Amino acid sequence: MANDVLEGDRDGVPTRDPDTDDHVRGTDLRISYPDAEGPVIDGESLSVPRGEVTALIGPNGSGKSTLLKGIARRVSLESGAVLIDGDDAHDLEKKAFARTLGHLSQEHTSPGSLTVEELVYHGRYPHRSFFESVTDADHEAVDRAVSLSGVEHLRDRDLSSLSGGQKQLVWIAMALAQETDVLLLDEPTTFLDIHHQLEVMEIVETLRDRRSITILLVLHDIEQAARYADHLVALYDGEIAARGPPSEVVTEDLLADVFGIDARVTPGQTGTGPVIEPIGPLHRDDDPES
Ligand SMILES: Nc1ncnc2c1ncn2[C@@H]1O[C@H](COP(=O)(O)OP(=O)(O)OP(=O)(O)O)[C@@H](O)[C@H]1O
């Protein structure tokens, strides 16, 4: 099924589907936290097509960040495997993995007081050994990342002097400087005003048009996700509730079942996402009728 982003690899055997060009594949992923009751992700499998944008959507607490962290090796897998180009990601040496996959999480911690340029150069660490000095390739990668993220004018500014929106663009520049084949972005537009949201999504759109990097990102804005992503994956309570092209995933049934809202969904014009218009009272978790 060419449109399916996810496939039911229920036996957990990491295999490659020759009919699709999956870049990243998670098979039978089970992820738990020591102090959480039961697994947060319980045996889910997903495939992320090469050079395309896949967006994870779902309510708060449904497991989106956890799934991203599992793929990015930020949390350990209780079972299952993450394959990148068919190879087990957990077999890759740390720097080799960091040259392959970048992960911009929601929690950014910068190493001390830095200028914007210094932070973006940190993205180059997987490409250098400890004693190696900065190369022309590093300078060029940083220039490209800074230019694509539109933060050239901020290069010499101290990171701590920037607004939240400016900082987010700088973090994205750092992730781009890493020059990975796969980029995971966790809620890159959250807390940003509409202008900065669109700036971030324009970067995603530019990368999507180039088809040179595989992107898996978490977005809360469903209309935005449907507009900018090639594929959507909807998570609900740690399970995949729907997957596929945006026009098939964003339905009135999905909004009711997964997000607890009654809404009218109107298909958008070409190049725009659907329009979601709430039309009734919210379903409450404790409402037996919902
Ligand atoms: N470090 C942790 N320790 C224990 N439980 C955790 C931890 N991180 C997340 N959880 C729990 O795992 C579940 C999924 O959380 P996660 O952050 O993955 O969801 P999410 O869909 O990304 O949520 P949001 O949209 O609110 O960011 C939640 O019930 C959360 O409380």
At residue 213, the pLDDT reads 95
Measure 11 CA to ligand 1 centroid, in angstroms: 26
Mutate-to-test residue for ligand 1 from 31, 35, 44, 66, highest number of ligand atoms within 8 A of CB? 66
SS (H, E, C) the chain: CCCCCCCCCCCCCCCCCCCCCEEEEEEEEEECCCCCCCCCEEEEEEEEECCCEEEEECCCCCCHHHHHHHHCCCCCCCEEEEEECCEEHHHCCHHHHHHHEEEECCCCCCCCCCEHHHHHHHCCHHHCCCCCCCCHHHHHHHHHHHHHCCCHHHCCCEHHHCCHHHHHHHHHHHHHHCCCCEEEEECCCCCCCHHHHHHHHHHHHHHHHHCCCEEEEECCCHHHHHHHCCEEEEEECCEEEEEECHHHHCCHHHHHHHHCCCEEEECCCCCCCCEEEECCCCCCCCCCCC
Measure 64 CA to ligand 1 centroid, in angstroms: 8
Residues above pLDDT 90, as percent of the chain:
75
Q: How many residues does the chain have?
A: 290
d(CA 63, CA 51): 24
Tell whether the torsion through CA atoms of 71, 30, 40 and 259 is positive or negative: positive
Residue range 95-132, pLDDT digits in tens:
999 999 999 999 887 767 899 999 999 999 999 877 77
The answer to whether residue 17 scores a pLDDT higher than 80 is no
At residue 3, the pLDDT reads 34
Residue 281 CA: distances (Å) to CA of 262, 277, 278, 287? 7, 12, 8, 12
Which domains are delineated in the chain? Answer: 39-281 (3.40.50.300)
Mutate-to-test residue for ligand 1 from 62, 71, 190, highest number of ligand atoms within 8 A of CB? 62
Say what the ipTM of the complex is: 0.98
Count of Cβ atoms closer than 10 Å to residue 284 Cβ: 10
d(CA 23, CA 159): 34
Triad 41, 227, 149: Cα angle to 5°: 90
Cβ(169)–Cβ(150) below 8 Å:
yes
For 171-187, what is the mean pLDDT? 97
At residue 2, the pLDDT reads 32
Going by pLDDT thresholds of 50, 70 and 90, the confidence category of residue 20 is low
d(CA 210, CA 206): 6
Query: Please, what's the largest Cα pairwise distance for the chain?
Result: 64
Measure 203 CA to ligand 1 centroid, in angstroms: 27
The pocket around ligand 1, CB under 6 angstroms, is made up of 33, 35-36, 40, 58, 60-66
Q: For all residues of the chain together, what is the average pLDDT? A: 88
The answer to whether residue 57 scores a pLDDT higher than 70 is yes
Mutate-to-test residue for ligand 1 from 64, 216, 219, highest number of ligand atoms within 8 A of CB? 64
Measure 65 CA to ligand 1 centroid, in angstroms: 7
Nearest CA, atom 30, ligand 1: 61
Half-sphere exposure of 201 (CA within 13 A, CB side): 24
At residue 286, the pLDDT reads 53
Measure 261 CA to ligand 1 centroid, in angstroms: 22
For residue 218, how far is the Cα from the chain centroid?
5
Measure 63 CA to ligand 1 centroid, in angstroms: 6
The answer to whether residue 228 scores a pLDDT higher than 60 is yes
Nearest CA, atom 28, ligand 1: 61
Measure 73 CA to ligand 1 centroid, in angstroms: 16
Q: Which of 23-27, 210-214, 272-276 has the lowest mean pLDDT?
A: 272-276
